Structure 1
């Protein structure tokens, strides 16, 4: 709803504000908090604009969110860029068309006691233990 706060949380915050500041000073505190937020937002917008101006026209389409390390790694190193994502979809589609998904699956190979190479264990019998193998 509002900064990811639910209605009961907002009511609790308003009640806490009334208790801390009192009903007389609460409007002044809210106005000063709003003024501070506007100043921070203006400062960040100015810094972003200064950065774009200093970098020049070749970085006109620079998105500062791409400079976040998580976004950078996901997009560039893990191949989550749009071009690579489209290429991956295209390759997967071509592979799915080329592969016959209805082809019979070969039966699994039978190993061990089932093919006669080792004796089967009896009921309640434990397999041999090799202390050197652990």
Structure 2
């Protein structure tokens, strides 16, 4: 658990005994035990809630397969590069973009530019459509 060996736990206990002191050590040990019990209860409660919400599918899930520690980015990239070109799932078809020209709203907004008229900021022919305050600039 977390790479802690018995020797490390013993060393932590000895240091805690010196820092905390023998009078307060039982109180802090009881608090730690209560915290561990509470944490374990919360974990069990979360597991039970997942089991209730997922139903019988909860027991069928291979949780080891979903463990993020098993993913090695180098292996994933190597597998993707060595994958056969035709074996990948085809990409979803995208709707072709129409190249016929601007839509009616864009054409109406650009009409003053095409006619050579000046565009006044904030005016009815403002192409940008952004509010503009001439006094603020």
TM-score, scaled relative to structure 1: 0.44
TM-score, scaled relative to structure 2: 0.43
Flag the structure with more relative contact order, 1 or 2, with Cα contacts below 8 A and sequence separation at least 6.
Answer: 2
